[in-house]
């Protein structure tokens, strides 16, 4: 069907406005990160009068940004990978086997996403403190404790998403592998997992991004040495001064590897979300 000229022009105008609306904050962040602090605190200008790279240099000395970045990468990577591994095993059982309580289990897993995270903050804090007192296993203020915490809210959605994706993979593939002499575990590893790569990557990205941007649990369950980026960036705001240019510079710097990784894995994300939504 031939599109009217007015419709094409309207689409171009609307998309252009949406593009400007999305790019404008990034442009403001970039220009602010290249300005001296007095210029950032002064009257706003779309075109900076003075440019400097000092915020990108000073941001490493104002706070231990590298330590916070290391903590975030380790915690988010381990939590997302562990969530996917556990979720993949649970999703395979839900997708391929019919057992008593299967439907209840699936509904319960999904219903946990309805509760706000702050409801789990105090129970987790009490559990970690009591566990440390009773067993000597120190989870409060540690990376391990934060990894377990992040898994509590990334794992349920990962199970639900992967179960929906595995349902799209024909069971005939499992049966063919079984006929060839491969057991259920062998069919799962050799057949199902390779076919589910797009869904696995999509869930992995979701789990990582959810953990990366989490701030509530990280602000309570960490200390100075295990603080993540989401909390650590607050260190640029002191009692006497807010280093706005360094905040912008640090935010842009730590966002680059995440954006690049997201763009490289985007095709898996689209394929996984599309297939997972068809059940």
203-258 pLDDT, tens digit each: 888 889 888 888 888 988 888 888 998 888 888 888 788 888 899 999 888 888 77
- For the beta carbon of residue 154, count every other beta carbon within 10 angstroms: 26
% residues pLDDT > 70 (the chain) = 94
pLDDT value of residue 273:
52
Tens-place pLDDT, residues 100-145: 777 787 777 777 777 777 888 888 888 888 888 888 788 888 899 9
pLDDT value of residue 274:
52
Q: Which pLDDT band holds residue 278 (cuts at 50, 70, 90)?
A: very low
Question: Do 245 and 40 meet the contact criterion of CB atoms below 8 Å apart?
Answer: yes
210 Cβ partners below 8 Å, 6+ apart?
150, 153, 154
Residue 15 predicted with pLDDT over 60: yes
Tens-place pLDDT, residues 131-182: 888 887 888 888 999 999 999 888 888 888 888 888 888 887 777 777 767 7
Q: Which pLDDT band holds residue 1 (cuts at 50, 70, 90)?
A: low
Alpha-carbon distance values, 202 to 198, 236, 275 (Å): 6, 33, 11
Domain range summary for the chain, segments of one domain joined by +: 55-277
pLDDT value of residue 68:
92
pLDDT value of residue 16:
92
Question: Do 268 and 202 meet the contact criterion of CB atoms below 8 Å apart?
Answer: yes
Residue 10 predicted with pLDDT over 90: no
What is the CATH superfamily name and number for domain 55-277? MetI-like (1.10.3720.10)
Residue 82 predicted with pLDDT over 50: yes
> How far apart, in whole angstroms, are the C-alpha atoms of residue 188 and residue 161?
17
Classify the C-alpha dihedral 102-106-107-112 as positive or negative. positive
Question: What is the torsion angle, in degrees rounded to the nearest 10, for the CA atoms of residue 227, residue 215, residue 72 and residue 242?
Answer: -60
**Looking up tokens 């280093």, which residue turns up?**
243
Q: Which pLDDT band holds residue 72 (cuts at 50, 70, 90)?
A: very high
Question: Do 229 and 110 meet the contact criterion of CB atoms below 8 Å apart?
Answer: no
pLDDT value of residue 42:
82
% residues pLDDT > 90 (the chain) = 17
Which runs of consecutive H residues, i.e. helices, occur in the chain? 5-33, 37-41, 54-62, 65-96, 102-111, 118-135, 143-166, 171-179, 184-187, 193-195, 197-212, 216-220, 229-232, 244-264, 266-277
Question: Do 113 and 183 meet the contact criterion of CB atoms below 8 Å apart?
Answer: no
pLDDT value of residue 270:
57
Residue-averaged pLDDT of the chain? 84
């Amino acid at each position: 069907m031939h599109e009217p000229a007015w419709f094409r022009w309207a689409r171009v105008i609307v998309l252009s406005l949406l593009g400007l609306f999305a790019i404008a904050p990034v442009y403001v962040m970039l220009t602010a990160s290249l300005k001296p602090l007095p210029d950032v605190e002064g009257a706003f200008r779309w075109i900076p009068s003075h440019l400097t790279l000092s915020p990108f240099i000073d941001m490493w000395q104002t706070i231990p940004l590298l330590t916070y970045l290391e903590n975030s990468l380790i915690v988010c990577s381990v939590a997302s990978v562990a969530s996917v591994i556990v979720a993949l095993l649970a999703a395979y059982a839900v997708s391929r086997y019919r057992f008593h309580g299967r439907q209840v289990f699936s509904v319960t897993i999904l219903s946990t996403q309805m509760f706000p995270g702050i409801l789990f903050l105090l129970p987790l804090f009490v559990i970690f403190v009591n566990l440390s007192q009773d067993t000597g296993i120190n989870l409060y203020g540690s990376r391990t404790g934060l990894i377990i915490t992040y898994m509590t809210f990334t794992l349920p959605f990962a199970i639900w998403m992967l179960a929906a994706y595995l349902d799209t993979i024909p069971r005939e593939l499992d049966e063919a592998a079984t006929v060839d002499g491969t057991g259920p575990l062998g069919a799962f590893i050799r057949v199902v997992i390779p076919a589910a790569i797009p869904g696995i990557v999509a869930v992995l990205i979701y789990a990582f991004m959810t953990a990366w941007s989490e701030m509530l649990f990280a602000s309570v369950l960490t200390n100075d040495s295990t603080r993540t980026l989401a909390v650590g960036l607050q260190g640029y705001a002191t009692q006497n001064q807010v280093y706005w240019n360094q905040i912008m510079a640090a935010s842009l710097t730590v966002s680059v590897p995440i954006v690049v990784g997201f763009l490289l894995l985007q095709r898996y994300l689209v394929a996984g979300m599309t297939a997972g939504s068809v059940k």
